[in-house]
Every structure is written in C-alpha cells, then in structure tokens.
Structure 1
Amino acid sequence: MSFMIYTLYGFAIFFMIFWLGMWIVHILALITGRWKLHRKPAQVPSYEVPFAGVSIIKPLMGVDPNLFNNLETFFTIHYPLYELLFCVEDESDPVLMLVRKLMEKHPHIDAKLFIGGCDVGVNPKINNMQPAYEASKYELILISDSGIRMKEDTLLDMVRYMTDNVALVHQLPFTCDREGFAAAYEKIYFGTIQSRMYLAADLLRINCHTGMSALLRKSPLDEVGGLKTFGVYLAEDFFYAKSLTDRGWRITVCSQPALQNSGHCELQTFQARLRRWAKLRVAMLPSTIILEPLSECLVLGGCASWAAEILFDWDSLVFYLIHILLWFMLDWTMLCVVQNSPLPLNKLEFVCGWLVSEITRPYLFLQAVLDPLIQWRSRVYKLKWGGIAEEVKAKVKY
C-alpha cells in the first residue's frame, strides 16, 4: 500500500512541476515577444555601407488566388543587392506563367527561373531547390515558401540579425489578416501555442526552427555537403539548423514575423498540416509522444488539478477553471504581442477559435501517432526514427 501511495504522490509532484514549468514558458515567451518582435532599428540604414548580397530561393508548385501578389512583394523589397531564384518542378505547372509575367513586369530585378529540379534525395522541396542553390551567387541564402508575403523592409531586418556568430536567421511563423473562421483559427494557432514555444525556445537557444522563411549562410552548409545533404529528411529545416548549432553557430529569430498568406484557407487543410507536423516531431524526437500532449492546456490542466487535490486538498474543479482562464488570458496577450496591431477578430471570435484549437489538438496529435504515413501533395512518405524518410510507392491525388 505504501508503494502505491508513494507512486501516487510521485505522479502528483511531477504534474505540478511540469505545470509550473509551462507557466514559466508562457512568461519567457511574453518577455521575448515584447523585447524582440517589431523592433525598429536605432539608426536608419545607409546603403552607402556595403550590404551582403542575398540569393532568395522560392520553391513553387501550383497556383492559389494570392500567389501573384505574394510573389510580387519579393520584387519590391527595399534591399540594395539580391537575386530571385524561382524553382518549379513541373514544366507544365501554371505557376510558370505567373513567374514569367512578374519577371517581365519588373525587368530591373535580377530574377531567374529553374525548371525540373534535381533528384538528390527523398525531400521534394530540396529536389526542387537544388539547381537554384547551386547557381546562387551570394553567401546569404533566403529560403522562402510560396505562401509568404514580404514587407519591404523584412529582408533588411533579417540581415541585421546575421551577426558574425549567427548562421541562421528565421521568422516567427504567423499569418496575414484574412476573412473567415479558418483564417482566425490559423492566426490563433500561430499567435498562441506556436509563438509561445518558438519565442521561449529562441530565448533558451533551443532549436525550434521551421523553414518557411529562413536566411542562412551558405558556406557552413557547404562544409557538410550543401543543401542536398538534408534531402534524406522531410523536416530538412530542423536538421540543417541542428547541423549549424552542433558546430557552434547560433540561430535566432528576427523582429518581423513571417506573414503566411495562402489563398486557400480551409479548416480541414490546416488540420492536415498540423497532423503532418506532429508526425515529423514524433519521428525526430520520440519524447514528443508524452511531452507534447501533456503541454496542452486542457490535458495539463486536468493533470495539475488532480495533483493539486492530492497534494494540497484543493478543489480540483475550481483549480481547473482558474487554470483555463489564466491560460486563455495569456494566450490573448501573446496574440496581441505578435500581431502588434488591432486584431481582425473580436473577443467572441477569439474564444470560439481558441476553444476549437485547444479541444481538437490532442485529438489531431493522437491521429498523427496512430497513422505515421505522411502525405505531401501527390506523394506519400514513411518516417523512420530519427526523421529519415522513405517514399511509399503508392501515390495519392492531392
């Protein structure tokens, strides 16, 4: 009997410590967000000082309603020296027409188009980008996903953080203001749980990199064989960041969030992305299977409420309700910090979106664990422990 009691108290103590740790993560993220995001440079940059050239690689596939405007923002960047390298895998892809139209509209911009890709691994994104990477002429490489909308001074902001000991500067994933519940759901996810973990990891110098908008030094990548070295992984962004940190380089978040602005915004599509990302995290870091569900607001609140009743004889229901209220308030504050402007949703819309996000995430994570196959557009992959991927022969339609 005494063994059972000790075990019970042991679990209760663990849950309370983990619960306190998550509140520390909340606070660290808010401090980092207030201190780092949306900072203006102390001095207006002078183009008389030589700026490092930047090769911007844009892997593209397919067309959405916002793609033309998103791509055009890269032709209007306020930066003195850069080139645009567009990568398209299929020569029949309709995106080629958009790219050529933009290149004709902005003939003064150094832009090139690469068609066909190069088979260097299982990762289709790296296969698509490889010819552009090999042809890039500058030391700094910006890898930018197709759905990113760029502000005129974003590239300058990223380069400003590329100091001597930094090899990777990335943007906090966020979204543009769009209409509809799915858009609000995405904004709430990226502005709360994603921002919380991302900013706390940046402060603690933990690799939490996502590669939707990342500025890299080319020479440290070339030391390990270049971008193609990471073609065996689907989560290439995590592994090239790990390669850099393992060799003593720093990675850091810049002050401007990445503005995702895809023209297709649907709840089911975004939840499929969440499941895919969860599968990648589980394969890369198996401890995620336990720690990630436990870090969710509703799950952790239930565990901590039980622990509070066991350890302190507190009312578990009252504890749980207070926990949810405080978590909700800090998430609202976090979203306001990341947005840095009036939110495109009111408090009722935030409550609905926040509840849907919090309630569905544990279920989506369970689905990801039970079905380890990953669908990416028309391809299906199987992940091995450690993150190495292999393509399944059977294909599905996207």
Structure 2
Amino acid sequence: MIPIVYTVYGFAIFFMIAWICLWLIHIMALSYSKWKLHRTVDRSVPEQPYLGVSVLKPLTGVDPNLFSNLETFFTMSYPTYELLFCVESEHDPAVMLVHSLMKKHPAVAARLFVGGARVGVNPKINNMQPAYAEARHPLLLVSDSGIRMREESLLDMVQHMAEDVAIVHQMPFAHDAEGFAATYEKVYFGTAQARMYLGADFLGINCHVGMSSLIRRAALEEAGGLAAFGDFLAEDYFMAKAVVARGWRMRVASLPALQNAGDKSVGAMQARLRRWARLRIAMVPTTALLEPLSECLPLGAGAAWAAGRLLGAEPLPFFLVHVLLWFLSDWLMLRSVQNGAPPFSKVEFLLAWVWSECCAPLVLAAALLHPQISWRTRSYRLDWGGRAHELKPKLKF
C-alpha cells in the first residue's frame, strides 16, 4: 500500500503542475490575442473573385434587438452573398420582421424558408435543412439570430478561407450593452471563454462554436451534409471534428462574433453556461474532472495548499497573490478582445469578474447534478459521446 505521505505529495505536485500549465495558457492566449485579433481587413480588389456566400439564419421568435441585428446582414461589405432566413412556423413573429427587412433592402438577395425538415432531434439543424438544400453558393455562413455583424466581418472570414481550410469561425464575444447582465456576459466571454478558446486554437484543439461559422460546403458534404449532425445538440463540435478528420483545417477569424440578444439576464446567462457544461461533459467526460482546475478559485486554493506542502509557502498570501494576478491578466485579456477599453468602469469589471469566478464552480456542479438539457421549449437527454434524445413532456391529468 502506498504511504499516505506519498499520496499527499503526489496531489501537491499535480496541483502545482496544473497551476503552472494554466498560467502558461494565460500567457499564450494573451500573446496570441494580440497577434490574432482585430487585424486590418484587406479591402483591395483580389486577383480572383471572392466565392459567393449563402448565409443561413435560423430564427425563433423576436427579441428587442432582432431587427437591428438582422439588418446588419443586409449591409455587409461583401460582393456576392444571399440571406436565407429559416423559421419553423409561418406564425412565428419573425416572419413579419424578415419580410419588412427584405422590402427595405430589395437589392440584397434574400429568401425565407418556413417549416424546416426533420432530419434529427436538433431543432437548429431541422430549421436550416430546407435552406441548406437550396443554397446557391459554395460557402455557407451559419449565423445565430442574436449575432450582430460588422460591415467587414464576412470579408474578414472569407480572407481566412485558404484552399486547405474548411471552417472559419468567429470567437464568441458580446456587443456593448448596459446593465450588470451585459457586463457579466462581456466579462465571461472576454476572459475565461476567450482564454480557453484562443489557447485551444493555438494548440490545434477543436474549439469550434457555431454561432458564427463559415463552412466550405464541399467539405461538409464529404462529412454527410448538414443532416448527418441532426442527432447532436453540439452539432458545431461534431461538424468540425468530422471535417478535420478528412484532412481539412480550421481557422479563427480576426474579428470576434458580437452576440446582441435583447433579453439579457443573469439567469439566462447562467442557463446557457449550464447547458454548455452539460454538453462538454457528455462529449468529453474528463471535463468533469479537469474543468474545475481551469477556474481561478479552485485552482488557486489547490495550488496554495500545494505550495505550502512542497515549498513551505504561506497558503493565504499565495492564494491572494494568485487571485490578484489572475484578475489583472483577465483585465488585459478583455481589453485585447474588446480592442480597447470596455464600456464599463474598473469597479463594474471587478464586480462582474468576482461574480463570474464565484459562480463558475456552481455552474459546473449544477450541470453534473442535473444532466438533462433544456433548450427553449424542449428537453433532451445526452448519451456519452454527445448523441441526443428528445424527452417528451409528461402528460398532466
């Protein structure tokens, strides 16, 4: 039997290695963000014309920002593209809004597809399937309803689409908005999410989030087309996995995706984080063991204890210095992703950062304790590996 003292020192060494690795990821992600993000988009006329793009926009319902968000797609600076709006029902209020935008911008090629086609349990895939079948161009931009597009974003994405690249995706971020919930969202996506996203991209790890993703249609067809991913809720991850397995590459665009949903709330944000955590746990079960070590407070506590055991350091000062340096590193990361000062004060950043870091372990714990996934009006159960099964609502008598 291994003596207890060896077990204790083994855990201490493990925590110190994890702590060093996370700080290397901090440095790597921050340095990479300075090089990767917000490059100047080349607006000169290319020798070869840019490929046409079919933009798939799945819609469900209307929020206060939907009209302005969708209008940014009608005003993109790109020579050849079409907008394909998708709704499940002709009674969806988004239908009237889309018709008004199409009437306002008659010069932009746009079509509306109603009804979807059931090819699996994923409602987003089902909603987009008819538009996917009718898309006219070799490049597809899958874009969630809450995305606000910069004028040059599509051009930036296409310029990253080299001959051996099949997917160019935008790193998730948030559009400027007022209120604590908006600050919380921007802090999360500009710090913890950005750090892991950029670190994974630099290391060649699949970090594909499909909220704003440009896909080479020929590569997607090689993987079975859109319908092949209808039984996965995390269709973006499995789509990227299948495409890369066939020898294609992925790249992250230099301009982040701007989420701009009009119904921001702390509860809605945490519900999203819990849903994503459940998906990660089902797809990569080791997430449940390793993900807490990517968070500031659990990692800092473990490293402080380990430093006391191995180096004779005082745990409390070690922990406090760790938290302070993590906070400063995240402030620098947010400024890099924002490309300047964020639209709130340092005090507001501090409050949102503390809230985000304190909630992170609780979000993961909730995902582990309640694995069922709720998405809009539907509920799902996930198998290990990520395949989803829709749960039928219980009848009430």
Does the residue aligned with 1:138 lie in a helix, a strand or coil? Answer: coil
Does the residue aligned with 2:18 lie in a helix, a strand or coil? Answer: helix
> 1:395–1:325: structure 2 CA closer, same or farther, 3 Å change rule?
farther
Aligned residue runs from structure 1 range 246-325, under 5 A? 246-325=245-324
TM-score w.r.t. length of structure 2: 0.98
For 1:145 and 1:44, locate their aligned partners in 2 and report how far apart those are by CA, in whole Å: 26
Does the residue aligned with 2:74 lie in a helix, a strand or coil? Answer: coil
Deviations 1:369-392 (A, max 9, x none): 100111111100001100000000
For 1:51 and 1:2, locate their aligned partners in 2 and report how far apart those are by CA, in whole Å: 64
Whether 1:7 aligns to 2:16 is no
Aligned residue runs from structure 1 range 235-246, under 5 A? 235-246=234-245
For 1:287 and 1:220, locate their aligned partners in 2 and report how far apart those are by CA, in whole Å: 29
Q: 1:394 aligns to what?
A: 393
For 1:149 and 1:361, locate their aligned partners in 2 and report how far apart those are by CA, in whole Å: 27
Q: 1:28 aligns to what?
A: 28
Q: 2:227 aligns to what?
A: 228
Q: 2:128 aligns to what?
A: 129
Q: How far is 1:103 from its partner?
A: 0.4
Kept in 1, the 8 Å contact 2:157–2:253? The answer is yes
Instruction: Extract unaligned runs of 5+ from structure 2.
Output: none
Letter in 2 for 1:266: S
Kept in 1, the 8 Å contact 2:223–2:243? The answer is no
For 1:395 and 1:356, locate their aligned partners in 2 and report how far apart those are by CA, in whole Å: 36
For 1:333 and 1:219, locate their aligned partners in 2 and report how far apart those are by CA, in whole Å: 39
Does the residue aligned with 1:74 lie in a helix, a strand or coil? Answer: helix
User: Structure 1 runs of 4+ off > 6 angstroms?
Assistant: none
Q: 1:152 aligns to what?
A: 151
For 1:249 and 1:215, locate their aligned partners in 2 and report how far apart those are by CA, in whole Å: 13
Does the residue aligned with 1:293 lie in a helix, a strand or coil? Answer: helix
Letter in 2 for 1:244: V
For 2:93 and 2:52, locate their aligned partners in 1 and report how far apart those are by CA, in whole Å: 30
Q: CA RMSD in A?
A: 1.2
TM-score w.r.t. length of structure 1: 0.98
Q: How far is 1:47 from its partner?
A: 6.0
Q: How far is 1:48 from its partner?
A: 6.7
For 2:47 and 2:288, locate their aligned partners in 1 and report how far apart those are by CA, in whole Å: 52
**Which segment drifts farther, 302-311 or 337-346?**
337-346
> 1:97–1:395: structure 2 CA closer, same or farther, 3 Å change rule?
farther
Q: 1:199 aligns to what?
A: 198
Q: 2:107 aligns to what?
A: 108
Kept in 2, the 8 Å contact 1:275–1:365? The answer is yes
Letter in 1 for 2:308: E
Q: 1:334 aligns to what?
A: 333
Letter in 2 for 1:343: P
Kept in 2, the 8 Å contact 1:380–1:395? The answer is no
Does the residue aligned with 2:150 lie in a helix, a strand or coil? Answer: coil
Does the residue aligned with 2:112 lie in a helix, a strand or coil? Answer: strand
Letter in 2 for 1:168: I
Whether 1:381 aligns to 2:387 is no
Letter in 2 for 1:159: V
For 1:174 and 1:243, locate their aligned partners in 2 and report how far apart those are by CA, in whole Å: 25
Q: How far is 1:160 from its partner?
A: 0.3
Deviations 1:233-272 (A, max 9, x none): 0000000000111112111111000000111110001100
Instruction: Extract unaligned runs of 5+ from structure 1.
Output: none
Q: How many residues in Structure 1 have an aligned counterpart in Structure 2?
A: 395
For 1:163 and 1:395, locate their aligned partners in 2 and report how far apart those are by CA, in whole Å: 50
Q: How far is 1:2 from its partner?
A: 6.5
Q: How far is 1:49 from its partner?
A: 3.9
Letter in 1 for 2:4: M
For 2:138 and 2:367, locate their aligned partners in 1 and report how far apart those are by CA, in whole Å: 38
Q: 1:40 aligns to what?
A: 40
Does the residue aligned with 1:211 lie in a helix, a strand or coil? Answer: coil
For 2:2 and 2:251, locate their aligned partners in 1 and report how far apart those are by CA, in whole Å: 49
Q: How far is 1:293 from its partner?
A: 1.1
Does the residue aligned with 1:225 lie in a helix, a strand or coil? Answer: coil
For 2:314 and 2:248, locate their aligned partners in 1 and report how far apart those are by CA, in whole Å: 48
For 2:91 and 2:387, locate their aligned partners in 1 and report how far apart those are by CA, in whole Å: 30
Kept in 1, the 8 Å contact 2:25–2:199? The answer is yes
Kept in 1, the 8 Å contact 2:25–2:195? The answer is yes
For 1:49 and 1:238, locate their aligned partners in 2 and report how far apart those are by CA, in whole Å: 31
Q: 2:66 aligns to what?
A: 67
> 1:9–1:134: structure 2 CA closer, same or farther, 3 Å change rule?
same
For 2:188 and 2:244, locate their aligned partners in 1 and report how far apart those are by CA, in whole Å: 27
Does the residue aligned with 2:25 lie in a helix, a strand or coil? Answer: helix
Q: 1:93 aligns to what?
A: 92
Letter in 2 for 1:312: L
For 1:76 and 1:181, locate their aligned partners in 2 and report how far apart those are by CA, in whole Å: 30
Kept in 2, the 8 Å contact 1:147–1:262? The answer is yes
Whether 1:165 aligns to 2:158 is no
Does the residue aligned with 2:136 lie in a helix, a strand or coil? Answer: coil
Q: How far is 1:215 from its partner?
A: 0.1
For 2:16 and 2:366, locate their aligned partners in 1 and report how far apart those are by CA, in whole Å: 27
Kept in 1, the 8 Å contact 2:210–2:236? The answer is yes
Identity, % of aligned positions: 59
Whether 1:354 aligns to 2:344 is no
